[in-house]
Structure 1
Amino acid sequence: MSFLKKIIKIASVNTFCQVFTIITLPYLTRVYSIEDFGILAQLNGVLMVAYVCSCLRYDQIIYTAENNKQVNTALSLGFKSSLIITITILFSVVVGLYFFHINYILLLIPFLTFIYSISQLLTSYLVIKGEVSTLARSTVVKTISLIVGQIVGYQIFEGKGLIFGLALSVIMQFFYIGVKTRSAFSYVSWKVKYSKSNTKKPIMSTIQSLLNAFSSQLPVMIIPSIYGVQYNGLYSLATKLTQLPLILVTNAIRPIILGEINSNISDKQQIKKIVVHGTGYLFVLSIIGIILLNTFATDFFIWFSGPDWEYSGKIAGILAIWLLSAFANVFAVSYLTVIGKFKFLLQYEAFLMIFRILVILFTFNGNIDFYSFVVLYSIVGMLFNLLLISYSIFKAHIYAKTTLSN
């Protein structure tokens, strides 16, 4: 199957899932309270941070493997890392429950972290084996489980139904991928040991991803303490409706892009075309999205989610400049990952997190209103995304030029 056909197939499946998920949101926003969405956002924020370090990014290393032995090593160390990190998180949560009386619902974190990390490792295995159809179907399983879980969950758990649906979707996708890739488990060996050669890149990638996840999830973790859970709910729905189509599409095409760049890594001219043209297409789509959101977002949220969510539409308009510029950098990040620019990505994420923390400190100490905080946070995110895109295109151009001169 060609690169274009893979993209079209995955994008089509994810578009279906996106539409199916969006159709149910008007019901959910009228059944669940703004505070319920705020609590879900807090838990999800913590999970996002835990997810990215759960297998030490050996799922990404699989894409750069040059032979089966390297694939098996990455799988084995990924499984081992997942177990070690899950046990560490579980111990931390148990300590928190015993000494600080934190919410018992946090026990979900180590459990979901482990099965998510294994799913990611197996997803990478599916991609390098060319099993695009299985990958697409796993997305359908996850989406249906999420929707059914959140609708049925309200009848059983009331406000906690949103969390039930989230957990169910992760579990069902794990079982589906696990069954379809059961042959991969035979390649996992607990005897494989960590070494300098097989841990340097994963650790660098993990730190970079951890910084990215932490800085991007900072709002949902600090908004409740500064502005209250209700603002967290409003912010979470704004980001959900703005990010939902972006996440579904980028999560689907990123593995394919990584695989395509890796398979053409020796052809620098082709790599340049993939990075430049792909980024250009996404950038045009991003500009169109920003214009549409700022024109229609507020009215749309009132009609779609109910009058209680009007302020989410206002927030979505300004979030668009950050989220859609992040959407445009998928090719850039994928390219820099494959060519091993982990040090640069680490430095990039570190500076981005520093600037975001500065925004939060300025907001906290300056008594800035909530909307102004969102504006500052989004501008910082947009500027850094544009910097990352520019750098990746520059590197692709330099490498292609070097090839021609040789």
Structure 2
Amino acid sequence: MLTNRINEIKKSNYIKSILVLVSGTAFAQAIMVLVLPLLTRLYAPEDFSILAVYAAILGITSVSACLRLDIAIPIPEHDTDAANLLAISLISSASISLLAGVLVFLFPHEIARLTAQPELIHYLWLIPFGIALSSSYSALQFWATRKKRFSTIASSRMEQSISGASTQIGFGWMGYTPLGLVLGQILSSGAGIIRLGRSAFSQDQATFKSISLSEMRRLFKAYDSFPKYSTLDALANTIGIQLPIIIIASVALGSEAGCLMLAMKVLQAPLGLLGNAIAQVYLARGPSEYREGNLAEFTSKTLNGLIKSGAGPLIFAGIVAPDIFSLVFGEEWRRAGVLAAWMTPWIVLQFISSPISMVMHIVNRQRLMLGLTLWGLFLRIGSVAAAVYLDSAYVSECYALSGAFFYIVCFRVFTVQAGVGGLKYISTMKGTIPLICGWAILGITFSYIFSGLN
């Protein structure tokens, strides 16, 4: 029976695609996580606070730079249509980057003042380059996803992590702080663009000859729901995540934003390792499953795999985080471990929900997704604002809890849209609860032993 199961896995293109992406992404994420103990000793917590604000601004501006038409690239039936969507995405990326450069040049002091980070003014000029690299990489990555070149995507992610980590270590070693963190952040999100671009233009030149202004206009109109709804959706989602970090940096004393960012980096590593890989493959295969009427079953199997592979280890990590963070990163980072524990429910729910969020694009429910994300934006910012007003000492904890509540609702909406409900819910959870409980008990045991040793 085990042999038959192994043969099934070998024959499954879906599993193969995930394994290819995970293998390359695992290497990339391992590098980024393994260098963190060194980075926390080369850079002060205050440096990470500047990085947190910079990354927040970059995230907000870059996520919609392609007008979300990059997400649409795997969906059309014909490659010629997808190629024109890719061209629109890259043109939009260049335009938004140029606009950001003008704003940074004209209003640097105002931007730094709004973020309450005066030192940030020295690094604002890097924002346009970060937007261009990150958004162009996204567009080319979705083209590679469409062509099912998952090994190329995996290799590009490895290049990103190596270049980002080496830059941060090298600059930190030479004392160029926090510049090294900022440059490394840019490279870790866009350095793979050369590999993806070379792959696309060497293998798809014939397809790209179909790109024309008239076709771009036609495709823009055909997929106008993405700029209309998905752009606002992406902005609302990113602002809901990143703006509270900027608020926390401006109102909290010391290095709270830096500790929050370190906690997020560590806990979100599984999202980059497995969750993003599954999301890529889900979007590549989902449209055909939808057309064949198998989307509910496909989504249910995806959820089952996500829960079994990631939920338990994340819960374990959250339980032991306070002690492990102080041991690995230094005692001054214990606060980051405490925040990681608070964030665990949020990260677990995000890990399960985010890969299947692509169902909203597959079934063309961008308007509903926009409404959901706008509600999440007001929930998160409202929670942080209320905490600032009542007691700013707990603002980060309120932020973490609001994220968990948001993803509970997201999970329900995504599964309903995929047709997963009733008995499929039961089958999805079958066999996962004992596994999760085992990880939780293991985490409590480790935490008790570690506390006894100290």
Do the structures match in fold with TM over 0.5? yes
Q: Which structure 2 residues correspond to residues 44-83 of structure 1 after superposition, within 5 A?
A: 44-83=55-94
Q: Which structure 2 residues correspond to residues 3-402 of structure 1 after superposition, within 5 A?
A: 3-97=14-108, 103-154=121-172, 155=174, 157-183=176-202, 186-187=208-209, 188-189=211-212, 192-193=216-217, 196-228=221-253, 230-268=255-293, 270-369=294-393, 372-397=394-419
Q: Residue type of the partner of 2:331?
A: P
8 Å contact 2:342–2:397 — kept in the other structure?
yes
Partner SS state of residue 64, structure 1: coil
Structure 1 residue 291 displacement after superposition:
3.2
Structure 1 residue 364 displacement after superposition:
1.9
Structure 1 residue 382 displacement after superposition:
1.6
8 Å contact 2:23–2:154 — kept in the other structure?
no
Structure 1 residue 230 displacement after superposition:
0.8
Residues 278-321 of structure 1, C-alpha deviation per residue, up to 9 Å, x if partnerless?
Answer: 22332345542453134211110011101111111111001011
Given the superposition, is the C-alpha separation of residues 219 and 98 from structure 1 closer, same or farther in structure 2, using an over 3 Å criterion?
closer
Give the Cα–Cα distance (whole angstroms) in 2 for the partners of residues 42 and 221 of structure 1.
Answer: 6
Residues 214-259 of structure 1, C-alpha deviation per residue, up to 9 Å, x if partnerless?
Answer: 1011232111111035111111111111112222322333221101
Q: Residue type of the partner of 2:418?
A: A
| TM-score (ref. length: structure 2) | 0.82
Give the Cα–Cα distance (whole angstroms) in 1 for the partners of residues 61 and 374 of structure 2.
Answer: 17
Give the Cα–Cα distance (whole angstroms) in 2 for the partners of residues 243 and 200 of structure 1.
Answer: 29
Q: Residue type of the partner of 1:131?
A: R
8 Å contact 2:50–2:178 — kept in the other structure?
no
8 Å contact 1:286–1:325 — kept in the other structure?
no
Partner SS state of residue 290, structure 2: coil
8 Å contact 1:319–1:374 — kept in the other structure?
no
Q: Report the number of matched residues.
A: 398
Partner SS state of residue 55, structure 1: coil
Residues 48-73 of structure 1, C-alpha deviation per residue, up to 9 Å, x if partnerless?
Answer: 11111111111111121121232122
Residues 95-138 of structure 1, C-alpha deviation per residue, up to 9 Å, x if partnerless?
Answer: 11377777141111112211221111111111111211111110
- The root-mean-square deviation of aligned C-alpha atoms, in Å, is 2.3
Q: Residue type of the partner of 2:304?
A: G
Give the Cα–Cα distance (whole angstroms) in 2 for the partners of residues 71 and 342 of structure 1.
Answer: 19
Given the superposition, is the C-alpha separation of residues 99 and 25 from structure 1 closer, same or farther in structure 2, using an over 3 Å criterion?
closer
Residues 171-204 of structure 1, C-alpha deviation per residue, up to 9 Å, x if partnerless?
Answer: 5312222222224574454563375433233331
8 Å contact 1:57–1:203 — kept in the other structure?
no
Structure 1 residue 377 displacement after superposition:
2.1
Given the superposition, is the C-alpha separation of residues 70 and 25 from structure 1 closer, same or farther in structure 2, using an over 3 Å criterion?
same
Structure 1 residue 46 displacement after superposition:
0.8
Partner SS state of residue 116, structure 1: helix
Partner SS state of residue 157, structure 1: coil
8 Å contact 1:153–1:165 — kept in the other structure?
no
Given the superposition, is the C-alpha separation of residues 101 and 243 from structure 1 closer, same or farther in structure 2, using an over 3 Å criterion?
closer
- Between 1:239-248 and 1:51-60, the stretch displaced more is 239-248
Structure 1 residue 208 displacement after superposition:
0.4
| TM-score (ref. length: structure 1) | 0.91
- Between 1:127-136 and 1:372-381, the stretch displaced more is 372-381
8 Å contact 1:14–1:248 — kept in the other structure?
yes
Gaps of 5+ in 2: 1-11, 114-120, 424-454
Given the superposition, is the C-alpha separation of residues 294 and 111 from structure 1 closer, same or farther in structure 2, using an over 3 Å criterion?
closer
8 Å contact 1:283–1:325 — kept in the other structure?
no
- Between 1:206-215 and 1:90-99, the stretch displaced more is 90-99
Q: Residue type of the partner of 1:329?
A: S
8 Å contact 1:332–1:388 — kept in the other structure?
no
Q: Residue type of the partner of 2:195?
A: Y
Give the Cα–Cα distance (whole angstroms) in 2 for the partners of residues 89 and 158 of structure 1.
Answer: 24
8 Å contact 1:41–1:220 — kept in the other structure?
yes
Q: Percent identity?
A: 24
Determine the structure 2 residue equivalent to 1:404. none
8 Å contact 2:251–2:392 — kept in the other structure?
no
Q: Residue type of the partner of 1:295?
A: I
Given the superposition, is the C-alpha separation of residues 366 and 77 from structure 1 closer, same or farther in structure 2, using an over 3 Å criterion?
same
8 Å contact 1:149–1:169 — kept in the other structure?
no
Give the Cα–Cα distance (whole angstroms) in 1 for the partners of residues 275 and 400 of structure 2.
Answer: 19
